[in-house]
Amino acid sequence: MIEGKAVRLRALRAEDAEHQLRWRNDPEVVRLAAAGDPSFGPTTAEALADRFARILRLDPRESGVLTVEEKAGGRPIGMVDYRGVDPYEGVAEVGIFIGERDFWDHGYGSEALGLLVDHLFGMFPLHRLELDTWSGNTRAARAFARLGFQEEGRRRDAVLLAGARYDRLLFGLLRREWEARRRSVPGAPGAAGATATVG
């Protein structure tokens, strides 16, 4: 378990499927998340059970999915994940979504992603982390920038959503940038002075 001030990250459990099912069938959650991740979208309980069975067998040295819980009440509010850990190249991809709408725009996602970034740089010999979103998801792009991710490029008109074209935004964060941020921004997610513990 990885704990911050307002959220904790914990191992995925089979019972988390009921929350995922609700989030993946919420049109607004899907609209924001699906363009960033084509595999995210409406699903059935049976299909999600199969997906969870595969996720629970993942090798944590290569990829993983963690549930984001709100600390005060222990309510699952979203997920973070990492994949493609390459210890030779020193690169991995990360992702996040907050499925509970009443937790949007309150910093929960930023803190959760910051905890994951801190954990990954602490556990693996990584040089950089990567993620992407689409140009219509301005909330995600702002959160990534707040954590120190740099927009490194865009694939123009690469996302088709409801008949409209959007750019895919590509972000990267280097270990040295994260470490400098930890030293200079006390109390920020993953920063020196934040109450993040692993247990």
Could you give the C-alpha distances from 183 to 101, 104, 125, in angstroms and in order?
A: 32, 27, 20
Give pLDDT tens digits for 88-105: 999 999 999 899 999 998
Q: Are the CB atoms for 56 and 13 separated by under 8 Å?
A: no
What is the domain partition of the chain in residue ranges?
2-198
Give pLDDT tens digits for 116-159: 999 999 999 999 999 999 999 998 999 999 999 999 999 999 99
Give the pTM.
Answer: 0.86
Please identify, in words, the CATH class of the domain defined by 2-198. alpha beta
User: Which tokens sit at 180?
Assistant: 């400098």
- The closest alpha carbon to 13, from 45, 53, 42, belongs to 53
> What confidence score (pLDDT) does residue 39 get?
67
